[in-house]
Chain A
Amino acid sequence: MRKFIEGSMAVSESVKLCRPDVVAAYPITPQTHIVEFLSQMVADGDLKTEFINVESEFGAASIVLGAAAAGARAYSATSAQGLLLMGEVIFNIAGMRLPLVITIANRAVSAPISIWNDHSDAVIFRDAGLIMLFAEDAQELMDMHPQAYKIAENPEISLPASVNMDGFILTHAFEPVDILDQKLVDDFLPPFEPVYKLDVDNPITMGLLAEPTWYMETRYKLKETMEDALSIIEKVADEFKEKTGRYYGGLIDTYRMEDAETAFVAMGSLVGTIKDVVDTLRAKGEKVGVLKIRSFRPFPAEKIREACSNLKQLVVFDKSYSLGLGTVLQEELRSCFYNRKHQPIISGFVVGLGGRDVPPQSLIDAYRKTLGKEILNEFVDLNTKVLGG
C-alpha cells in the first residue's frame, strides 16, 4: 500500500512491522517523531510492545541491552548528543553480542548546539562493533529496518545494527512510500532466536570481566564477525529483492557508472542530490557516476575497489570531519586503495555540516576544481566573511 508520509512515519511503520518486543527511547530532535509515532501506535492498540519511558539515552540503551539479553527484539532511536550518551552502552551491546536495531537520525554534535543534519554523530561509532547502514530516502528506510534486524539477528553475526537517516532531510520530509505487507515482513523476518539469553531456569551471568587471557580473543571474534557481515548484508538485500523487487545494492550501490571516469561518493540523502548532479553532467557528455556507500560498517573495501576498477578519480562528499585528520569517508576510501594496482585520484570535500544546504551547483563547482588534481579537506560554501583573521 502506497502512502504519502513523513520519513519518521516510514521508520515507525517499518519498526512496527518488525514486531519489536521492547521499545525504549528518549526524545531528541530530529529523532522525536519516530518514537512519538510508535508510542501513539501503542496507545491506539495497533502495536503490541513493551514501550518503556526512560530518563535519558543512557537509560534507553541500557534497557534495550537488557531486553536483548532477555531474548527480546528491542528497538531504540536517537540523534547526536543522545547517541553520544548511549556511547558506553553501545560498545557493551556489541561486545556482549546482543542484536538489536537503533535508528540514528543523523545530527551535528555540539558545541555550538545544532539540531540540524550531518554525519558527525554516527561516524564516531565506527569502532564500536555497531553495523552501520545509511539510507537514501524514505522508501529505503522502510525497507532497511527489517533487513537490519535480519542481519543483526543472524546467529553468525549477533551484533547491534544502526540505520542512519539524515535528520530533517529524511525525518521530516514527506515522500510516497510503499508500506510493506505484514505477512511479507513476518515471512522475511522470523521471530528472534537469540544465541544466548537470560533465563531464570538456567541462570548465567553476561557481560563478564575478561582477564588479559580472554579479552583479545573476544575482540578478534568481533573483527571476524564484521568481515562475515559483509556477505550477510548482501545476502539479506538479495533476499529482500526476491520478496519485494526492491534493491538498493547490498553494501554499495552505483548509478550511471557504466563508462564513468569519475565517481562521486557519498552516504545518505546526499546521494539523491548527487544523482541529479550526475544527470546534469551526463547531459553535457561528462563521464560521471555515483558510488553510494550503504554499509559504512562493515566497510566494503573489496566491493568498492571492484566498482572503481575503471575510474580515474573519486570525488568524496563527506558530512563529517575527523578533527586533526580529514574528511572521514575520504580517508577510509583512500586507505582501501593504498598500495593497490589501480589507484584513482581521490579528492575529499566537506559539505552540509550542521545542516548547511548543499545545492547541486556547489557540488559541480567542487568537481570542476578536482579535474586532474587532488583536493583534500576543502569546506564547500564556507562563508569566509565570518572567519575573521
Chain B
Amino acid sequence: MSKPILLTSSPGTSKVNKTGGWRTLVPVFKHDTCNDCRICVTVCPDACIFGQDNEYHPDLDFCKGCGICAYECPVDDIDMVLEVK
C-alpha cells in the first residue's frame, strides 16, 4: 500500500518563497518629480512598494517587474529598465 503525498504548506510561505527572480524589467525610482501621491504603492499587485515622503522603493525580493507602477505614475518618475544580472 502506498501513502498519499499530501502537499501542504504552513502559513506565511509567500514571504519565504522569493519570487523576484521572475523579473525581466526592474522599476527604477528616480526620486526626481515624485509628488508623494502613493499611486505606485496602491496599484502594485505584489504590494511590494514601500516608503514615505517622496522616497519610495520596490522590494526586489518580490517585485516581478510588471511595470504597472511606472505606467500609472502621473509624474513619470519611474523607469522600467532591462535588468542585467
Contact = CB atoms under 8 A, between A and B. Distances in A.
Interface of A: 97, 156, 158, 195-196, 203-208, 210, 214, 217-218, 221, 224-225, 228
B8 A204 contact: yes
Contacts of A156: 1-3
A195 B2 contact: no
Interface in B21-48: none
B42 to A, nearest CB: 27
Nearest to A97: B4
| Interface bin, chain B | 10 to 19
A156 B11 CA distance: 26
B5 interface: yes
A214 B8 CA distance: 12
Nearest to A206: B8
B7 to A, nearest CB: 5
Interface string B4-16: 1111111101000
Given A205-B10, A221-B2, 17 more contacts: A97-B4, A156-B1, A156-B3, A158-B4, A204-B8, A204-B10, A204-B11, A205-B13, A206-B8, A208-B7, A208-B9, A210-B7, A214-B5, A221-B5, A224-B2, A225-B4, A228-B1
Contact of A196 (B8, B10, B11): B8
A151 to B, nearest CB: 13
Nearest to B6: A196
Contacts of B6: 97, 195-196
A228 to B, nearest CB: 5
Contact of A203 (B2, B4, B7, B10): B10
Contacts of A218: 5, 7
Contacts of B9: 204-205, 208
Please name the 3 residue pairs, one residue from A and one from B, whose CB atoms are nearest each other, closest first: A224-B2, A204-B8, A156-B1
Contacts of B7: 206-208, 210, 214, 218
A353 B8 CA distance: 43
A217 B43 CA distance: 38
A156 B13 CA distance: 28
B11 A205 contact: yes
B13 to A, nearest CB: 7
10 contacts: A97-B5, A156-B3, A195-B6, A203-B10, A204-B9, A205-B8, A205-B11, A208-B8, A221-B4, A225-B4
A195 B8 contact: no
Contacts of B1: 156, 228
A205 B13 CA distance: 9
A214 B7 CA distance: 9
Contacts of B11: 203-205
A224 B5 CA distance: 11
B17 to A, nearest CB: 9
Contacts of A217: 5
B16 to A, nearest CB: 12
Contacts of A214: 5, 7
Contacts of B13: 205
Contacts of A196: 6, 8
Nearest to A205: B9
Nearest to B9: A205
Nearest to B11: A203
Nearest to A218: B5
A153 to B, nearest CB: 12
Nearest to A158: B4
B5 A195 contact: no
Contacts of A228: 1-2
Contacts of B2: 156, 221, 224-225, 228
Nearest to B8: A204
Nearest to B13: A205
Contacts of A203: 10-11
The listed residue with most A CB atoms (<10 A of its CB), out of B2, B4, B10, B13, is B4
A124 B54 CA distance: 58
A205 B10 CA distance: 6
